[in-house]
Structure 1
């Protein structure tokens, strides 16, 4: 299986979960030091490929590496993405381009370039976000990218129906990751924001990356053989109230 953005947070937890199940896992990351650290944590049959999924040449290099070891891919978890908080009025072209290139262009070509290697009946899982359906101050560009991801799943299940390839979106809520801490400014400010957001969640806490990973495992498994095109919210109930 392939996990893009597999060096931290949800991607790392998912790579660990699949490796623990005995899968041959390929992860990507933009920084070699983070990639090396992740490989040590994951263990098992894992291969790291340094690359930026917003760059098509790097995606090609990813699948060239996969093809050297395996003829086919069973699962693609298109997880690489990110964003910063910028309010309307302060959005720059650079901010827009960077966010859409990583979150939309990168996911599109990660999946499209996998098609020759994906086996019939394979599972494709996209990382969405609760922001796909909820408004968030100063987060409109990121939120728009995740709404696009959600529609990719709806459309691609029609494009891929003859090959019986399932495409689903996993949409985490507030999840305890290094990226979340960075987004909220780090330190006490980040903790205060996390505590406030936890108070809004019916589950009474933020999620853990391992909980998202378990949902990805389910969507990739035969147990989810009739689950196709859904957006599965793993958010402690926040989007349901």
Structure 2
């Protein structure tokens, strides 16, 4: 690698990547970006139809794709996903954990099992996938890239019943930092992307030209120095950076893709 050829640092062509939650908002961004960059993909999601749609789209981009119709619901499922990557392509170079959930309720109205389900989906499953990937990457002896998905809510609270979500994303931040320290000597980097509101099927209403959307959007944008909500493209650069050699000296890092929301 030469400083006179800096784009080579971002070259991930021929690498193999596992993306969980591949049919979700961030997972689809990750699939499109890494497919376009020339990665071979194993895409995992619970919805077979939605999974096929994004897998076919990536094949049309011109990359090799293997579909795994499953969620990382437990240890066995996570180990099986990593095994599928090795079976299909011989090695695992990049893990992107884009699976997760949010359930909103005020604390006095939230059932304990609801809190536990969010923590399990966002924290336990991230940990299990990182463990399975770490074992494989260590065995390969060539390092690797683990990218978790956090949120600005891992740093900041929210008044609308986000105790489970905020706690879960703060825990993802903790896993990221701890694994960054633990795995530093191995050549495996562990980082997280932490977006704020960006365009997705769940947030599409905030982008609409309605009085309700404008009121909510304007209130939110008073905290965003860039003065707009996020677009999927705003996540593409951070993902490619954290998946490539360009980030080899970055680990345990939370990269806020938030238009400056957490800066003020």
TM beyond 0.5 = yes
Counterpart CA distance in 2 for 1:39 and 1:221 is 22
CA RMSD of aligned residues (A): 2.0
Change (3 A) 1:165 1:134: same
Where does residue 220 of structure 1 map in the other structure?
A: 243
Counterpart CA distance in 2 for 1:142 and 1:102 is 10
- Cα deviation, 1:153-184, whole Å, max 9, x if unaligned, reads 111122212312111111001111113348x8
User: Quick check: which has more Rg, 1 or 2?
Assistant: 2
- Cα deviation, 1:98-157, whole Å, max 9, x if unaligned, reads 101100111000110112322432111110000011110110110100000001111112
Range 153-162 or range 1-10, more displaced = 153-162
Show structure 2 runs of 5+ residues with no match: 1-16
Counterpart CA distance in 2 for 1:57 and 1:96 is 23
Range 66-75 or range 112-121, more displaced = 112-121
Counterpart CA distance in 1 for 2:234 and 2:259 is 10
1:201 alignment partner, SS class: coil
Range 165-174 or range 151-160, more displaced = 151-160
Contact 1:201 1:238 in 2 (8 A): yes
Where does residue 145 of structure 2 map in the other structure?
A: 123
Contact 2:241 2:247 in 1 (8 A): yes
Change (3 A) 1:70 1:201: same
Counterpart CA distance in 2 for 1:42 and 1:142 is 30
Q: Number of residues paired by the alignment?
A: 239
1:45 corresponds to 2:64: yes
Counterpart CA distance in 1 for 2:53 and 2:217 is 26
TM-score, normalising length: structure 1: 0.91
Deviation at 1:187, TM superposition (A): 10
TM-score, normalising length: structure 2: 0.84
Contact 2:184 2:251 in 1 (8 A): no
1:67 corresponds to 2:86: yes
1:238 corresponds to 2:261: yes
Change (3 A) 1:19 1:198: same
Range 73-82 or range 157-166, more displaced = 157-166
